[in-house]
Amino acid sequence: MSARKPEPPAAGELGISEQVAVYQREFPLVDPQVETIVQTLSRVTRRMNVAYTRQLTVLGITSADWEVLKALVIAGSPYRLGPGDLAKRLGLTPAAMTHRIDRMVAEDLVTRERDESNRVRVIIELTENGRDKWLESMRMAAVFEEELLQDVVGEERAVLSGMLGRMLRRIEESQPDALGRTDDLD
């Protein structure tokens, strides 16, 4: 397999090797291999997020909407959760969750109803439109992700998956705020 020439950086952005060289100049103790991996992962993540955001925009939903839709899908049929459960799963304050739900109800992505068994409790439920948008976003993401990984084939995918999984576990073990909030900041 021949080595591929790295893609040019975005306008105004240093290439990764140039950026790592600056880091080494300013902080000589930096490990260039580690920094190259970290900077590459960072750029991949940023660019993937831009691509996903573009796809969601085509569907008329935001990344924030998608996160709520995902949480309801993960909860399983009948795709219902209380707003407090949603807020906790997404690392949001109750006020932020209420604002998000208000907007999503207006867009027919979710419904907000009183729980028949406990009239004090509110239930947020995925609508057919919300589920359709989530499914279409997943279809679009699957196409993008397959294109993204087209050069990672066979056993390489398993190796990459294992390496990234180990990195993620290390981060989650050392940084308890994986959802964006820490208990000590509540």
Q: What is the dotted CATH code of the domain comprising 63-131?
A: 1.10.10.10
Tens of pLDDT, residue by residue, the chain (186 residues): 445 555 556 678 899 999 999 999 999 999 999 999 999 999 999 999 999 999 999 999 999 999 999 999 999 999 999 999 999 999 899 999 999 999 999 999 999 998 788 778 899 999 999 999 999 999 999 999 999 999 999 999 999 999 999 999 998 888 876 555 444 444
Q: What residues contact 128, with CB distance under 8 A and at least 6 apart? A: none
